[in-house]
Structure formats: C-alpha cells, structure tokens
Amino acid sequence: MVDDPIAAHYELGSERDRLFREGEPRLELTRTLELLDRFLPSAPARLIDVGGGPGAYAGIWARRGYDVHLYDLLELHVQQAQQAAHTQPEHPFTAAVADARSIPEPDASADVVVLLGPLYHLTEQTQRASALLEARRILKPGGVVAAVGISRFAALFDGLWQGWLSDPLFRGLAERDLVDGQHRNPDPVRYPQWFTTAYFHRPESSQMKSGVQASTRCRCTG
C-alpha cells in the first residue's frame, strides 16, 4: 500500500515526462543508463524493473533487446508504462502493479533486478531490507542487483541552487534531512517541487549491510 503523500505526489502525472525535455533525454536519464551499462549483462538478459514508474527506462532496455518486466505500486504508472509499451510493439515489455517487497516472479528467475525508486520511498530500514531480500530471491546466482538512493545532501544542494533556503519551511525540511534523512514535505500542495515522503541515504548506506550480497553482485548509486 503506497503512502497517501507519495501517491498524491505521483498522481499529479509529472513523472511520465520528467526525464525528458522536448522529447530528448535529460542528464539524469542519460547518466543513469551510462552507469548501469557498466554492470548489466548483455541482452537478451531477463531484467526486472522494480518501481519502474511510467516505463522510461523499461522502454529503452526493451529496445536494446532485454526481456523487460516492470512492476510499480502506483496504478497510474503501470497504465502509463503499458501505454509506452504499446507504442513500441516490435520491442515489447510488460508492466503490472506490485510492491517491491513482494514481486510476483519465481525464485532465481531474473538476470538483473533494478530498483531505481523503491529504496528511497521505503522510509524504514526493515522495509528497505525486505525489498533487497526480495530482489535477491528472484535473482539468478551471479546476477546483478542495481539499486539507487537519494543523497542525504540533496535538499541542501537543491535549496542552494534554487534559492529556497531563505524559506523557513524549506530550511526546516533540509535540516531534518541532514539529521536523519527522513524527508517530509511540509506543504506538498503549495510546493510539489519539494518532492514527497522519502528516506535520503548517506554514502555508507550503499554498503548493503542487510546481507543481500551473497552470490549476487549488488551495485548502488545515488
């Protein structure tokens, strides 16, 4: 079940076009693909895109020849991803609703599991560990888990860049992020650009202390 503030944020529909500008990929999309290309096995590997949103990455990977299956907790995103898949029938991928902690895939069935969103929307450590263990369950021995977190310093950097730190509301948000990483937008209706409920990681969080490594190769970025 998705938290109400998170659902409300994404129900605005802006996620579908966020990674593009005038039809061209933005830096985040381009750089993420470049980083992941270092570790992904060659197509047609079976790739599970967990929390894949409207399917921006899934569509690209499918066009590159991967066997792509997307899961997202938000019905709107799944519908948008299905629409995206229909626009490239020669390079199909599937999309369905599922929680990152319970993926309807068999054990050891995926060559790659990508989590570009779930870990920062699962705000409790036990929730994040559960998602990582689920990724491990569906991964083949020797497969790759690629997970992304948002930096604990993201709001501070954004505030400096955008000039938001003069606003007491935003300054309080940024200060809490630095203390415990629990990002909470104090007024999401007025300030949707301040993002939504999330957990922001410190660099050492990428060490995967939950014991997920085992026989897999886990890569974290963010």
**Beta strands, E only, the chain:** 20-21, 24-25, 46-50, 67-72, 94-97, 110-115, 139-148, 182-183, 198-199, 217-221
Q: Looking at the predicted structure, is the pLDDT value of residue 221 above 90?
A: no
Calpha distance 110→133 (Å, rounded): 14
**pTM for the complete prediction?**
0.90
State yes or no: pLDDT of 115 exceeds 60.
yes
Q: What per-residue confidence (pLDDT) applies to 219?
A: 41
The answer to whether residue 96 scores a pLDDT higher than 90 is yes
Q: What are phi and psi of 55, to 5 degrees?
A: 95, 20
pLDDT tens digits, one per residue of 180-191: 999 999 999 999
In this model, does residue 211 exceed pLDDT 60? no
* Position 103 pLDDT exceeds 90: yes
Domains of the chain: 4-149+211-221 (3.40.50.150), 151-200 (no CATH)
pLDDT tens sequence across 124-169 = 999 999 999 999 999 999 999 999 999 999 999 999 999 999 999 9
What is the Cα–Cα distance from 123 to 218, expressed in whole angstroms?
A: 20
pLDDT-based confidence at 49, cuts 50/70/90? Answer: very high
Q: In Å, what is the CA distance from 168 to each residue of 28, 61, 171, 174?
A: 29, 42, 5, 10
Which are the contacts of 198, defined by CB distance < 8 A and separation ≥ 6? 120, 121, 123, 150, 183
